[in-house]
Amino acid sequence: MIQTLSQPWPWWAGGIIIGLTVPALLLLGNRHFGISGNLRHICAAVFPSNIRFFKYDWRKESWNLFFAGGIMLGAAIAATLLADPNPVRVAPELAAELQTYGISNYDSQLPPEIFSWDSLFTLRGFVLLVVGGFLVGFGTRYAGGCTSGHSIMGLSSLQLPSLVATICFMAGGILMANFILPYILRL
């Protein structure tokens, strides 16, 4: 079983599993899937205050906190028990392009030239990690949800705002990956 789980799965297997999550949640109590709302639930639970945004019955959404916890637990199990000890395989064309940005260490999923404490205190690391993290959080709140909530749950329930948000997510990703990120990586 471990051998099967540790091998790469075909792309469509993940799609089927994610696709079955939506009707399962709807059938099991009309639940809506999304990860970004968990920050609001945690803040409402941990910091009870007179802020109107946090005054709601967060306990009704506690199932989603367990769902997010399960994602983190599953990631930890996969990273420890199912980890591939070999360096990450990168296409030669991509490796050559990344080399021009000073990224050449493929020992883990996250290159230490970007994702490390040393990198955080450089202009490039600060822009990618801190400014980028802020923009993701701001955009998630501004869009009224994250990619999982809009693109998985919202599209499957035919919500027009989710279609608009998903189109914007895709356009933003294409612009970032092809035009903005190469400039930032040269910093």
Which residue in the block uniquely carries the two structure tokens 């949800």?
145
Rounded to an integer, the average pLDDT of 111-122 is 92
pLDDT tens digits for 45-89? 888 778 888 888 888 888 888 989 999 999 998 888 888 788 888
- DSSP three-state, residue 186: coil
pLDDT at position 9: 82
What is the domain partition of the chain in residue ranges?
1-83, 114-187
pTM: 0.77
Please, which contacts does 115-121 make with residues 24 or more away whose CB atoms are closer than 8 Å?
Answer: none
pLDDT at position 160: 95
pLDDT at position 179: 95
Structure tokens belonging to residue 145: 């949800």
Reference 58, options 71, 68, 50, 48; nearest CA is 48
The string of DSSP letters for 19-61 reads: HHHHHHHHHTTS----STHHHHHHHHHHS--S-GGG-S-GGGG
pLDDT at position 54: 85
Q: H helices within the chain, ranges in order? A: 2-6, 11-27, 37-46, 62-81, 92-100, 117-120, 123-125, 132-143, 147, 155-156, 160-175, 181-185
Which residue in the block uniquely carries the two structure tokens 């883990």?
108
